[in-house]
Amino acid sequence: MPYDLKEIAAISGMPGLYRLVSPTRTGVIIEALDGRGTRSIASARNKVSLLQEISIYTQDYDQTVPLTEVFDRIHQQFGAELELTSKSDDRDLATFMGKIIPDYDRDRVYMSDMKKLVTWYGIVSKNLEYQAPATDEDDATPATDEPLSTGGEISADATATDDAATANPEATAPAPKKGKKKAE
C-alpha cells in the first residue's frame, strides 16, 4: 500500500485530516495533520470517515476505485507535489480527475469531491511517507534452489531412517478400538 491510510480520517465539522490516536469513552483522541500536531477529542456525534474506506465512483455502477489506489495513481503521475489546489479552476480539476481515473462517474463525483481529493492528497503527501508497492515479479519468483512443489514425493531423508515410526508415526500407531462402551 503506497500510503498507509488506516489511521487517517476526515471528521465532519472539522477541516483537514486527522490521525486517530486512541479511543476514549466518549469519542476518539485525534491528532491534526496540519504540521503542529495538536491533539483533541472528536466526540461520538462527529462522523469519522477513514480515508482507507473512501472510494471514487466509476462509470460501472458496481465498481469504485479506493482512495489508496487513487493516491498511488496521483503519486505515479504527478509526484508528491501537485500544482493544483482546491482553488484551481473547475475545468483544470475535471481534467486532472480524467487523467487519474478516466472512467470516473461525472454525475456522482462532484466538484467539491475533486477539491477534497486535491486537498487531502496534499496533506497526506506532506505528512506520510510514500512506500513503493511491491512488484509482482518479486513475489512470484521462487528461490532457485527451492522446488515449486513436492509433487507428492517424500524426501530421501524421511525414508532413510531405520525406525519406520519416526518417519511416519501414524504407520505404527494402533488402530482405535471400535466397540460400544457399556453403561454402568
Looking at the DSSP assignment, which residues form a beta bridge with residue 50? Answer: 9
Other Cβ atoms within 10 Å of 42 Cβ, number: 21
How far is 124 from 175, CA to CA, in rounded Å? 63
- Asked if residue 28 is part of any domain, the answer here is yes
Contact present, 86 and 115 (Cβ < 8 Å): yes
Pairwise CA distance, residues 92 & 34, whole Å: 26
In a domain, 94, yes or no: yes
**Structural domain contains residue 99:** yes
Q: Name the domain count of the chain.
A: 1
> 2 lies in a domain?
no
Specify if 168 maps to a domain.
no
Q: What is the per-residue pLDDT for 180?
A: 60
Q: How far apart are CA 121 and CA 93, in angstroms?
A: 13
pLDDT in tens, 104-129: 999 999 999 999 999 999 988 888 77
The answer to whether position 86 is within a domain reads yes
Query: Which helix (H) or strand (E) covers residue 42, if one does?
Result: strand 39-43
Kindly report, residue by residue over 65-101, the tens digit of the pLDDT: 999 999 899 988 888 888 888 898 999 999 999 999 9
- Note whether residue 184 is domain-resident: no
**Structure confidence at residue 135 as a pLDDT band (50, 70, 90):** low
Instruction: Name the least confident of 100-104, 148-152, 178-182.
Output: 148-152
pLDDT at 166: 52
Please give the residue range of the domain that contains residue 71. Answer: 8-127
Q: Is residue 148 part of a domain?
A: no
